[in-house]
A and B are shown apart, each in its own frame.
Chain A
Amino acid sequence: MSDANSGALLDRRRLLGAGGLTLVGLAAGGARAQSAPDPLITNIQPWQSTEGEGVDARPYGAPSAFEKDVVRRNVPWLTASPISSVNFTPLHKLDGIITPSGLCFERHHGGRAEIDPAKHRLMIDGLVDRPLVFTMDDLKRMPRVNRIHFLECAANSGMEWRGAQLNGCQFTHGMIHNVMYTGVPLKLLLDEAGLKPNAKWLMLEGADAAGLNRSLPLQKALDDVIIAFGMNGEALRPEQGYPLRAVVPGWQGNIWVKWLRHVQVGDQPWETREETSKYTDLLADGLARRHTFVMDAKSVITNPSPQAPLKYKGRNVLSGFAWSGRGSVPRVDVTLDGGRNWREARIDGPVLDKSLVRFFVDFDWNGDELLIQSRAIDSTGYVQPTKDALRKIRGVNSIYHNNGIQTWLVRASGEAENVEIS
């Protein structure tokens, strides 16, 4: 710990000095003395004396039964019906940068469609020289790419505009996932159809019961949009749009149209429900921003957090995610004293464009209350703002694009709570 910050960041010597204090509800940190032999070591255990299931028991694997609580969760009061609703990724149970497919949050407007890939078609028409129809087999014969990108719902943290509301990063920040996609660059498909000179906007449309449609600027489509059929090395999951979805790196999740069946080329936006009545950001003066596609740089500490309290004094791992829709996140700062002092976190793993990055602060904790925050600084120099700085510009009725700095209060008991601070 070479930084000059004081605050609650402790070094080893101070920890040892505090070691004689009585710990309330917390196990002591450090190497512990054992008074009697551990029966888990000295006795033969059931899993040693009985054979387990064979290789034919689980043709498609599942997590250990001991991990049964690591699941997506929803917040029933948020929406009128679970058919048009959202659930949340358990961020506090993840590590690295890849979200397991079965834990990626779901947002459906007309429920999860189940589509036979043999019956799925992709049509490209409108302002093109050759309107075309593709089958899934056609798409899989095209040159393809693999790319890791985050998908964040524009409404992620939307419940927090008026103040701290939900206790858990799963609920405050869990409308995000980060996946390796396999698919065909949309540019290849557009080249195949041949764009007319006046082409400027695309309309992406899903085959689900909501028929979700969104207008996409042509420039973005030609830049980095992928029409994906794979995620994390296998086919898309049905809840993520099987057999085909749009991947629109760095842009709000709603435009990543799932169950994609249609790309219509036009010369102006369609102004659909999802880009007018929803996914527009109402400001305090009564006017609303529209076409706010890019997701601003953001981060959150996932451990400790309300669902992941500190259990031990002494050595601990603080960890979290950061991301930016404008590029990569080469730097994340962390404070343990409510923003008085900051230090650079250690980033581990790949730092990719428009992908989650994983950060750590390895620290010693003496049981003092902490106010912990993280702030992302992206490759364009954008610094994640405080929630109050955002409110000053946008008011509290935006719903979308709340990328303000999150604060967790870690109490002496190790429990954490969602708070806001001055």
Chain B
Amino acid sequence: MSRFPSALFVAALIGSTPAGAQPLNLGRAALPEETRAWDTSVRPDGQGLPVGKGTAQQGEEIFQSQCASCHGEFGQGVDRWPELAGGLGTLKDDRPLKTVGSYWPHLSTVFDYINRAMPFGNPRSLKPDEVYAVTAYILFLNDVVKDESFELNDKNLATIKLPNDAGFFDDDREVSEKAFWNASPCMVNCKSEVQITGHASVLDVTPDPKTAPKVE
């Protein structure tokens, strides 16, 4: 019997990842109040939404005082801060404008992001009713709802569809880019001539002028 434990010990020493067969008995049970406090991430089906409500009209007031200095009075964006509205139908354009209305697939994402990270400079300061109201106003700015008296709440949020909800598909690179798996790339005499087609020095944006296109 003495050989068996010692062989196990050696295996454990050279094993690459610790096994979790035995309970570690570390940590403690999370209390219901604690899980409730942190389970605030909102899914497209509405899981995680707090009870609450707000109209687009109520949201406009909050938006103009707390959001418009960066996002613009109509959600058009100020300087390099993000546009929130407009751009519908531009995704195939040379310069697409990606906003809540033109690009975002789920309204739950808007609520979740405002609730956790906005307004920039004072995050987690809005009450649930205020987040519903601002989210409703962003729908209004994007013409998803036309009536400013529209009320958004925890019951109807998951039922509202955004224009580009069908605009996404799962990563397919291993199929659509299969040609990049190439057993024998060319090594010798791969092309006859080489032309320079573009120079970074022409743009001269290293490291700081304001002329270059922005990235997100």
Contact = CB atoms under 8 A, between A and B. Distances in A.
Interface in B79-117: 79-81, 91-92, 96, 98, 100, 103-106, 108-109, 112-113, 116-117
A286 interface: yes
B208 A288 contact: no
B14 interface: no
Interface stretch (B1-9, B21-29, B134-142, B148-156): B21-29
Nearest to B166: A287
A404 to B, nearest CB: 11
Contacts, number: 279
A294 B173 CA distance: 10
A5 B47 CA distance: 61
Interface string B53-92: 0000000000000000010000000011100000000011
Given A77-B214, A270-B41, A165 B109 contact: no
A206 to B, nearest CB: 10
A364 interface: no
Contact of B41 (A75, A264, A277, A289): A264
Interface in B31-60: 34-35, 38-39, 41-45, 47-48
A417 B202 CA distance: 11
A276 B24 CA distance: 37
A167 to B, nearest CB: 4
Contacts of B100: 277
Given A280-B168, A290-B170, A84 B120 contact: yes
Interface string B169-186: 111110011001111011
B13 interface: no
Contacts of A304: none
Interface stretch (A60-68, A92-100, A155-163, A309-317): A155-163
Q: B interface, by DSSP: helix, strand, loop or mixed?
A: loop
A134 B206 contact: no
Nearest to B176: A393
Contact of B207 (A133, A171, A264): A171
Contact of A286 (B47, B167, B208): B167
A123 B171 contact: no
Interface in A46-84: 73-81, 83-84
B109 A273 contact: yes
A130 B216 contact: no
| Interface size range on A against B | 35 or more
30 contacts: A4-B188, A5-B188, A75-B208, A78-B214, A80-B80, A110-B120, A125-B38, A134-B27, A159-B215, A164-B199, A166-B206, A171-B207, A205-B41, A211-B124, A213-B116, A264-B41, A270-B48, A271-B43, A272-B109, A272-B113, A273-B112, A278-B216, A286-B92, A288-B167, A288-B169, A291-B171, A340-B191, A381-B181, A384-B180, A419-B196
Contact of B103 (A4, A80, A277): A277
A207 to B, nearest CB: 10
A105 interface: no
B126 to A, nearest CB: 13
Contacts of B24: 141-143, 188, 192
A399 B216 contact: yes
A276 B106 contact: yes
B215 to A, nearest CB: 5
A343 B208 contact: no
Contacts of B10: none
Given A187-B20, A276-B168, A293-B171, 17 more contacts: A75-B206, A75-B207, A110-B120, A131-B29, A132-B29, A145-B17, A165-B203, A165-B206, A211-B117, A277-B104, A288-B91, A289-B170, A289-B172, A290-B170, A382-B180, A383-B185, A384-B180
A56 B190 CA distance: 60
B39 A138 contact: no
Contacts of A422: 191, 193-197
B11 interface: no
Interface of A: 4-5, 73-81, 83-84, 109-110, 123-126, 130-135, 138-139, 141-145, 155, 158-159, 162-168, 171, 185, 187-188, 191-192, 203, 205, 209-211, 213, 261-262, 264, 266, 268-273, 276-278, 280, 282, 284-294, 296, 306, 333, 337-343, 371, 375, 377, 380-385, 389, 393, 397, 399, 409, 417-422
Nearest to B44: A271
A340 B190 contact: yes
A341 B18 contact: no
A149 to B, nearest CB: 14
Contacts of A343: 187
Given A131-B29, A264-B41, A276 B199 contact: no
A155 B214 CA distance: 12
A225 to B, nearest CB: 11
A205 B35 CA distance: 13
A419 B214 CA distance: 20
The 3 closest A-B pairs by CB, nearest first: A143-B18, A338-B194, A211-B116
A218 B6 CA distance: 34
Contacts of A382: 180-181
B23 to A, nearest CB: 7
Contact of A409 (B17, B169, B196, B207): B196
Contact of B212 (A165, A187, A419): A165
A411 to B, nearest CB: 11
